[in-house]
Amino acid sequence: MKRGNSLILPAWLSRRFDAHPVRRPARLPLPVPLAGVAGLVALFVAIPVVYIFLRAAGADLDDWQRLLQARIWSLLGNTLLLVAAVTGGALVIGVSMAWLTERTDLPGRKVLRWMFAMPLAIPAYIGGIVHLALLRPRGGLLPQMLESLFGQPVLTPSPLGFLGAAFILTLFTFPYVYLLSAAAFRSQHASLEEAARTLGCKSWQAVLFVTLPALRPGLLAGALLVALDILAEYGTVALLRYETFSSAIFVQLSGRYDRSAASVLSGVLVALAMIILWTELRVQGQARFTQMDGSWRPAPLTALGRWRFPMLTLALSVVFASLLVPVGVLLAWSVVALLDPQTLQEVVRTGSRGFLSFALNSLWTSALAALVAVTLSLPVAVFSVRHPSRISRFVARFCQVGYAIPGVVIALSLVLLVNRAAPVLYGTPFVVVIAYVLRHMPQAVRASEAALNQLSPALEEAARISGRTALQAFRQVTLPLILPGLLAGGALVFLTSLKELPATLLLRPAGFDTLAVRVWVWAADGFDAQAAPAALLLVLASATPLFFLLRREQLFK
Amino acid sequence: MTRLSVTHLIKRYPQAALPAVQDVSFEVEDGEILALVGPSGCGKTTTLRLIAGLERPDAGSICLNGQEVASDTRFIPPEQRGVGMVFQDHALFPHLNAHDNIAFGLRRWRPAEARQVVDDMLKLVGLAPLARRFPHTLSGGERQRVALARALAPRPVLVLMDEPFSSLDTDLRLEMREQVRSLLKTMQASVVFVTHDQEEAMYMGDRLGVFKSGSLEQIGTPEQIYQTSATRFVAEFMGNSSFVAGEVTPAGIWTELGLLSQAVDLPAAAAVEVAVRADDIDFQPHPVGNGVIIDRSFRGMHNLYRLRLDSGLELRAFKEHTTILPVGERVHARINAGHPLCVFPDTAKG
Amino acid sequence: MLPRRLISSLFLLVSALTACAPAAPSVSNTPPAGQASIGGKLVVYSGRSEPLIRPVIDAFKAQNPRIEVLLKAGSNSELANALIEERANPQADLFITTEVFTVQSLAQQGVFKSYRPAGADRLPAGSIGPDNSWVGLSRRARVIMYNTDLVANAELPKSIFDLTDPKWKGKIAAAGSTNGSTQAQIATMRQLLGDTETEKWLRGLLANKVIFFGGHTDVRKAVGTGEFALGLVNHYYYHLQVAEGSKVGIIYPDQGEGQVGVITNATAAGVVKGAPNAEAAQALMDFLVSEQGQNLFAAQNYEYPLLPGVALRQGVQPLDAFRLAKVDVASVARETKATFDLIEKVGLP
């Protein structure tokens, strides 16, 4: 085993940390059953997409016409505007914070690295609930503080609508870009900037014209991941009353009798996401930087000088808004909730279900989804890594399609499909698990591929020579060795499944609540304090696997 | 008894224009070490993997111990072939200690017997005290020996070694190949050994097979290969030969180094090339001469000179370590082999 | 082998969790008298949001400790969709909505079992569906609430049509198109005023930058704090906000001559045909229209109980005092698709 590969970052980026390049893969002559299984997995993953496209194509001409006349264009405009704004915002914050922690003598940069990554454990809608409660004009904590300060109401901008949604989503998606660019900054050769300096560039010019362009493929991949995330986002935009495709589909699903309009919107949304995903996969393929070799040494740190404290203030305000405020407010609310006997009773036991059961439901559905996703990803990864061919590459890429299917769309297709195809499953929590697996399969496939890529095929060959069949060799040699990588992939699926909201809301059976659903329902009914303990537990439950995932990264060693 | 026979073996890869292995045939006798040597990408490793069953041939057949393991109609998977293999990067299982690595192939043996074999192997390779150590705590040479012990422990029909010393330092490599060869000979193993280093091949192999672009150019003892190279490529690759142009005359071959009185089976006036090595050339300082010294490097036992003949041809020539001549000195060079030289028709001149 | 052990232990864990999740009701040897002997799981789909239905369910459970109530709260139409989807494979036992059009429409599609709860004879005419398919539970009025700090008495809107006046631009909050009460109001207006007038009104609201929230709780709280001046809500949201100490007022609109009157609607419930636990569903239905159940709606949530003789909560103005809009439930229910088409056409969020 070589050094641990990164999972939060795309596989290609972590591959640069390999001690030595991976040897030519083996061509063991029995990929037929394997290809069959991998193909079945791809078919399973394909179900929702194919179904949605069929439904969209089969929708009444009337539906298409009515939607084309007005809705689609305004939704498209709204969605693209938000995607562009958040992606841009995340790039600016992510890259600049990465530069500050990796390339300057900013005080406390080791701690800040963690602080910039941890917002990944906070679902954006929970951040949104907190910030909304703070910022609402007149009613929010901030305006009220201002009012008591000035003795009269102070008009503050409303966080509802586009600006608020863009602000919140930027705060909770920039860590993707931060992690990617920080890793890229770190792995860059010192000589790159030094060469630019000897050629007459000032320090800032070297960063602008040499360092950043060299990071471009990584940044583009990060930006596209953020864009896919925003396309799929439901909770935050619904909370802040900004209409995008995802929230409009949710409205169609929960507010109408007629599902063909939802299918039409979903078809357009998935097509849009597919374009972004396709670009991301292409970028991912091209983005191979130079290997980190023996001559690598870290670039020298830029002395910030008198900019030290202004920059530190900037960095701390990002941490404040994206981490300290949400966690702090949730803590405060939780204390309030636990001190108030009536609220406490609601929290501990509501309706027919207790708090413990929400937590357990969250944990077992996410854990089962992680187990299933990783298991299903194995044949796909082995097929594509050990038997590279056009077909195996296609199968592996196809399994990435979950990134392009927002939770609402998976819910729509499962609602319609499961009752017809598998009525036994209908109305059980396993439909929720299937949704998690479909949606988060790409992360599992990427993790398994990365883990396998780190392992020399000679080990499997040695096992074959020593008398093991392909399957035995996989079980006795490959599996124990890639297990840490698989666990990390599972942790990632677990983490994202815990946070999943729209599909859970739409697919959960009666009486089956998860932490995410509980937080959402309580907050929607206006019981912020009551929602806080569940939200806090959700954040903590997400932070734990995130912590271990980050520990595998070079940045956090 | 013939341990391995390979007949008309062909292997093509989908994207490649030329076959990786093209009509290769050879045999390995009991207790024999056959070294396959050639530049990288010549098909020697592919041949080894075909024998192991890690790849499937497109045509030809492979017999192990008289039993056909690969042909147009048959393909025995690697785990059923009973061969041992030492990999280029050792491929030790990182999750198993030295003992368990060696025991990995002894699954079907009775436990007590397997333990005995592993202990014997560990003693044989001198690693008995390190049996419980994991691969990442072992040195390169120790890992090498574990890999060898693992391959040998199940008493394989045939041992395959794929550039086993390439990941070691030069010093260690020389030491290891002595140890490995004597161990293989002690155990009377039949071995196919792949390397790109001709010196290593000559050291390790009882016989050598020289590969070029997927074909076997020549197979024979090291002496045969060295002294009577079958092709210009073999002469060049195996002996660092230089080639002097010549013309066949009734008296021998006329070259710019003088007349080489050696009979060849070629018509008169045919253009030929004569393969000469540094020890086949002698030269003396000479005011007129036929060339000039352009470089000298001291090699301890002798001096290696580089000469440029007036025709432009560059040659290398040994002189005893006490003879030191300045660069730029005019010299007269001639062939002084004491044995027949290899002569090849000059294809370029037709 | 580690992985196999890992997998099997995970499997065990999962099955243990799933097994214990729907904890089996504790078996008691001495069943309490009467109704209370009914047990099992009772799956309730509720269009009423959780805080508005849970007190009633808790009271019911106190009487029937052996019934485990599984609640799925959502929008009326989402749950109605599910019921239609599940006709061959029913999951729910009882459906509770916030307006009668949805239950009527579902009754037309044969989703409900006919059941006439005990005491139904005392309910006023029109509060029982055809063939006893559904039963009305409580009545609510569509009103305008306002923040008394922000709106002077003289400026108060008198009609829902005043809400399209540009002077209120950006100052109004309402519940969005997934909300049953909003949908019902639009359906009612279509019948009273026709498509064209209703569309004009909706477009007027959109042009006035009305913020449409996911639910009415957001609306009442935003009006209560003064984030918005006016809110279009059901009457009890005003009372709930007053109870939190906000300075808000209430307007029963359209009382003038020739105006449509206050739009009202009723919450309703139906027992699902093929319900796995119809017995428990019927018991809950009985409870909902019983004196105790009706009193909970009135006392806890300031609603108008349907059962005569149940007292209104202090401060709630009796409906007799107002001019009420009159609708034909059956014909509105047949127009459901047209209502949604209109909502879709104007793009109500």
A370-429 residue pLDDT tens? 999 999 999 999 998 888 888 888 888 888 888 888 888 898 888 888 888 888 888 899
pLDDT at A353 (0 to 100): 61
Q: What is the mean pLDDT of residues C243-248?
A: 93
CA A364/CA A504 separation, integer angstroms: 13
A22 burial (CB, 10 Å; 0-12 / 13-18 / 19+) is: middle
At A518, the amino acid letter reads R
C251 burial (CB, 10 Å; 0-12 / 13-18 / 19+) is: buried
pLDDT at A4 over 60: no
The closest CB to that of A27, out of B55, B85, B94, belongs to B55
Q: Chain B: which residues have CB within 8 Å of chain A?
A: 52-56, 75, 77-81, 83-85, 87-89, 91, 93-95, 104-105, 107-108, 150-151, 154, 160
Q: A541: pLDDT confidence band, cut at 50, 70 and 90?
A: very high
Quote the DSSP letter at residue B87.
B
Task: Report angle CA C76, C79, C82 to the nearest 5 degrees.
Answer: 150
The answer to whether A204 contacts chain C (CB < 8 Å) is no
Q: What is the mean pLDDT of residues B225-247?
A: 86
pLDDT at C235 (0 to 100): 96
B97-153 residue pLDDT tens: 999 999 998 888 899 999 999 999 999 888 999 999 999 899 988 999 999 999 999
pLDDT at B303 over 80: yes
Query: B260: helix, coil or strand?
Result: strand
Residue B245 Cα to chain centre, angstroms: 27
Residues of B in contact with A23 (CB under 8 A): 88-89
Q: What is the mean pLDDT of residues C148-169?
A: 93
- Kindly provide the residue ranges of all beta strands, DSSP E only, lying in B178-231, ordered along the sequence: 191-195, 207-212, 215-220
The closest CB to that of B105, out of A456, A466, A472, belongs to A466
CB contact under 8 A, A429 and C18: yes
Q: Edge-to-edge, what's the strand order for the sheet holding B314-320? A: B281-285, B330-335, B291-298, B302-309, B314-320
CB contact under 8 A, C222 and A479: no
A84-112 residue pLDDT tens: 999 999 999 999 999 999 888 999 999 99
Q: A286: pLDDT confidence band, cut at 50, 70 and 90?
A: low
Q: Considering only CA atoms, which of B319, A132, B90, B159 is closest in space to residue C211?
A: A132
pLDDT at C24 (0 to 100): 36
Residue A536 Cα to chain centre, angstroms: 19
pLDDT at A213 over 60: yes
CB contact under 8 A, C14 and A368: yes
- Optimal mutation site among A23, A456, A465, A469, interface B, most CBs of chain B within 10 A: A465
CA A246/CA A502 separation, integer angstroms: 9
The answer to whether A511 contacts chain C (CB < 8 Å) is yes
Question: Would the pTM of this model clear 0.90, i.e. be above it?
Answer: no
Least reliable range by pLDDT among A433-447, B80-94, C8-22: C8-22
Q: A347: pLDDT confidence band, cut at 50, 70 and 90?
A: confident
The closest CB to that of A456, out of B91, B95, B108, belongs to B91
C172-192 residue pLDDT tens: 999 998 899 999 999 999 999
More confidently predicted of A555 and A366? A366
Residue B285 forms beta bridges with which residues?
B331
Q: What is the mean pLDDT of residues B197-208?
A: 93
CA B147/CA B130 separation, integer angstroms: 14
- A105 Rama class: left (phi>0) / alpha (psi -120 to 50) / beta: alpha
CA A31/CA B146 separation, integer angstroms: 31
pLDDT at C158 (0 to 100): 93
The ipTM is 0.82
Taking the CA of residue B233 and the nearest CA in chain A, the distance in Å comes to 28
pLDDT at B279 (0 to 100): 85
By percentage, how much of chain B surpasses pLDDT 90? Answer: 43
Q: Give chains near B: 3+ CB pairs under 8 A.
A: A
CA B138/CA B308 separation, integer angstroms: 49
pLDDT at A8 over 60: no
At A458, the amino acid letter reads A
The answer to whether A253 contacts chain C (CB < 8 Å) is yes
Q: For residue C21, which phi and psi values (nearest 5 degrees)?
A: -60, -60
pLDDT at B215 (0 to 100): 92
Residue C52 forms beta bridges with which residues?
none
Residues of A in contact with C280 (CB under 8 A): none
Taking the CA of residue C256 and the nearest CA in chain A, the distance in Å comes to 33
The tally of CA atoms less than 13 A away on the side-chain side of residue B289 is: 19
By percentage, how much of chain B surpasses pLDDT 70? Answer: 99
- Per-residue H/E/C for A294-340: CCCCCCCCECCHHHHHHHHHHHHHHHHHHHHHHHHHHHHHHHHHHHC
Q: What is the mean pLDDT of residues A144-149?
A: 86
Nearest CA in chain B to A482: B95
Q: Considering only CA atoms, which of B283, B284, B260, B286 is closest in space to residue B273?
A: B260
Q: What is the mean pLDDT of residues B278-301?
A: 88
C25-41 residue pLDDT tens: 333 334 344 445 688 89
CA C137/CA C115 separation, integer angstroms: 14
Residue B21 forms beta bridges with which residues?
B11
Q: C15: pLDDT confidence band, cut at 50, 70 and 90?
A: very low
Taking the CA of residue C313 and the nearest CA in chain A, the distance in Å comes to 22
Q: Considering only CA atoms, which of A518, A525, A451 is closest in space to residue A482?
A: A451
Q: Whole-number mean pLDDT of chain A?
A: 84
Nearest CA in chain B to A459: B91
pLDDT at A470 (0 to 100): 87
CB contact under 8 A, A352 and C61: yes
Nearest CA in chain A to B13: A27
The total of other beta-carbon atoms located within 10 Å of residue A321's CB is 18
pLDDT at A241 over 80: yes
Q: C269: pLDDT confidence band, cut at 50, 70 and 90?
A: very high
Dihedral angle computed from the Cα positions of residues B5, B7, B13 and B18, in that order, rounded to the nearest 10 degrees? 130
Residue B316 forms beta bridges with which residues?
B306
Q: A297: pLDDT confidence band, cut at 50, 70 and 90?
A: low
Q: Considering only CA atoms, which of B38, B2, B33, B35 is closest in space to residue B22?
A: B38
C-beta separation of A52 from A408 below 8 A:
no
Taking the CA of residue B47 and the nearest CA in chain A, the distance in Å comes to 14
Residues of C in contact with A147 (CB under 8 A): none
Nearest CA in chain C to A477: C1
Angle between helices A72-103 and A308-319 (to 10 degrees): 130
Q: A222: pLDDT confidence band, cut at 50, 70 and 90?
A: confident
Least reliable range by pLDDT among A229-233, A276-280, B7-11, C249-253: A276-280
pLDDT at A27 over 50: no
Residue B271 forms beta bridges with which residues?
B247
Taking the CA of residue A24 and the nearest CA in chain B, the distance in Å comes to 12
pLDDT at C117 over 60: yes
